[in-house]
A and B are shown apart, each in its own frame.
Chain A
Amino acid sequence: MSRFLGRDHRPLTPKRLTVVLVLLSVLLLAVSIFALSVGSVAITFGRVLAATTGFGTPEATDRLIILDIRLPRVLLAIIVGGGLSVAGAMLQALLRNPLAEPYILGISSGGTMGTILALGLSAGISTFTAPLASFAGSALVMFLVYGIARRHGQLDPYMLLLAGIMVGAFFNAAVLLTVSFFHEELRNVFLWLMGNLSGARFETLAVAGPLTLAACLPAFFLAKRYNLIATGDDAAAQLGVDVRVLRRWSYLLASVITGAVVSVSGVVGFVGLLIPHMCRILFGPDHRLLMPSSFLMGATFLVLADTLARTIIAPAEIPVGAVTAALGAPVFVYLLRRK
């Protein structure tokens, strides 16, 4: 059984893909129900199911807590965890670099700058101001980095990496400068910088969610091509892949995912780097399985991490980014040693 699920170096079959994805989906569902039941008010699984599905006799208070407070948060964790993991996997394939992760191309720095400007200038005219400003900041970085890294109409991976790091560093500096001038008003920025799912609202989730999912979907269809570029641009080109188009689209999709996620949850670190690697160790490097399993695994992981973050020192909260690193690093080391 473990040989079937785990790495046995045989080529991927449709059967194995289905089994792994079904199991991961069931795991995600279980963890989500668990997360909905946990909190300052403990609610049993039965009542959780009643409140969410309407069967049985749901209690009004249950519905309020679960549907208005916990459910958006769990959904946000799924979107953020899943999205960042897929974006991380895409960038690792795109740059042929196992150290790549969603923030390496500076998107998060642009998003942070956008949020700061929104918080500083308008102090939240609507729930959408900060996320929109954040996404605009991310988009600005995306265009800048794209413009710098483009050479003869192609996105050179080396240039992309360097341009992303440089532009990111520049915006990071701008963020720090701004915060140091207005530190009183922008105290919250630090919390945001470490990733924070407490601001989950259905209004913003209704936009960021579908956007992220829509950008993740093509990644699953491009999976075969990611396998092919893993052995080199020339090798992929001679097998029929249009490497230029693949790079452009992947860059756009990864940026959109990262920008959308950062606009509603801040900079949740570590997930985008850790999860694709975990999935690679557990299920192999074949992107046809790696992409969807990264999404499910990332979602599960973040739901768990966020549940911990909001319950361990209740009623206070730990920034979820701290929990992802604290949880993730030991798990990753264990998997590495086991390999």
Chain B
Amino acid sequence: MPVLTVDTVSFSYITGVPTLQNVSLEVNPGEFLTLVGPNGSGKSTLLKLLDRILLPSSGKILLDGRPLTAYARPELARRIAYVPQDRDMQFSFSVEDIVLMGRAPHMHGRLFENSHDRSVARRMMELTDTVHLAAHAITNLSGGERQRAFIARALAQEPRVLLLDEPTAHLDIAHQVDIFRLLRSLTAETGVTVVSVSHDLNLSALHSDRIAMLLCGGLAALGTPADVLTTERIREVFRTEVMVDNHPALGTPRVTMLR
């Protein structure tokens, strides 16, 4: 049974201007699905709909066969974690504070975190290479470090589904590779399902099981990287010319930009 089912979902921020139109797709348990598409194609919106941060204007979304609206908010928070795009922080919480916030859905009204919460938080900071930043104020970090801290927080929720909005946007190449590798190993080892929005077609090709390509609020393509990442498809959706061949070592599609 698919873990997430999007059934003919439409959404508009402004009435009359649809951001998403009749999108349907299924996300399989333990898969790594990447959403790609031009700016404004509705990728981030779809992600927010998947965590009930937004409600569809028509259609419905199911988690494990049950409608999202049937779950209580804290229950949903234990199953789905969402990492938004980076934003500026006003208050100087430490990184450890931020990661511990991820334990909130598991605290059942307890006022303070216990040792189990702290050890989960530690482990997630180790996975995201943020342990050395634990005592640093989040306001003093670079964009990339902040992002890794927020990913650690989402992981601390111990969710079954992880939704990430451009998780590697500000990361240097080493951390980009690390985060994608981490997400991939999470799906392989713990069965977590990952849905990620990305602008990096090559990293997506290397690690995703499937890619969903959106265009103007609709699903233009859905399939394995090899099926979806073709010169014609990229020309049609992104309106740009690229060269697509195969990664020399791994055989996955490799998108090369042209001058």
Residues of A at the B interface (CB closer than 8 Å) are 8-14, 96-98, 224, 227-228, 230-232, 234-235, 237-242, 280, 285-286, 288
Contact = CB atoms under 8 A, between A and B. Distances in A.
A98 B90 CA distance: 7
B207 interface: no
Nearest to A98: B90
Contacts of B145: none
Given A224-B111, A228-B101, A238 B81 contact: yes
**Of residues B51, B77, B82, B104, which shows the largest number of chain A Cβ atoms within 10 Å of its Cβ?**
B104
B93 A230 contact: yes
B136 interface: yes
B87 interface: yes
A280 B137 CA distance: 13
B89 to A, nearest CB: 7
B48 interface: yes
23 contacts: A9-B137, A10-B94, A11-B94, A11-B96, A11-B118, A13-B112, A14-B111, A14-B112, A224-B111, A227-B93, A228-B104, A230-B93, A231-B87, A231-B89, A231-B101, A234-B53, A234-B82, A235-B84, A238-B80, A238-B82, A239-B101, A239-B105, A286-B97
Given A9-B135, A235-B150, A285-B93, 10 more contacts: A14-B111, A96-B91, A97-B90, A98-B91, A228-B104, A230-B90, A238-B81, A240-B105, A285-B91, A286-B93
A241 B77 CA distance: 9
Nearest to B137: A9
Given A10-B94, A240-B74, A286-B93, A234 B136 contact: no
Given A227-B101, A239-B77, A286-B97, A96 B112 contact: no
Overall SS of chain A's interface: loop
B104 A240 contact: yes
B81 A9 contact: no
B146 to A, nearest CB: 10
A174 B105 CA distance: 48
B97 A11 contact: yes
B92 interface: yes
B100 interface: yes
A98 B118 CA distance: 29
B89 A11 contact: no
A215 B112 CA distance: 23
Contacts of A231: 87, 89, 93, 98, 101, 150
Contacts of B89: 230-231
Nearest to A8: B135
A240 B93 contact: no
Given A239-B102, A239-B104, A232 B87 contact: yes
Contacts of A238: 51, 53, 77, 80-82
B76 to A, nearest CB: 7
B14 to A, nearest CB: 12
B147 interface: no
A213 to B, nearest CB: 20
Contacts of B157: 239
B73 interface: yes
B113 interface: yes
Contacts of B76: 240
A13 B136 CA distance: 18
Contact of A234 (B73, B84, B92, B98): B84
Q: Which 9 A-B pairs have the closest CB atoms?
A: A240-B77, A240-B74, A238-B82, A285-B91, A9-B94, A9-B135, A240-B105, A230-B91, A239-B104
B94 A224 contact: no
Nearest to A239: B104
Contacts of B96: 9-11
Contacts of A288: 111-112
A230 B135 CA distance: 18
Given A9-B135, A239-B101, A285 B92 contact: yes
Given A224-B111, A228-B104, A9 B136 contact: yes
A11 B73 CA distance: 25
A23 B7 CA distance: 58
Contacts of B90: 96-98, 230
A21 to B, nearest CB: 13
Interface in B60-115: 73-74, 76-77, 80-82, 84, 87, 89-94, 96-98, 100-102, 104-105, 111-113
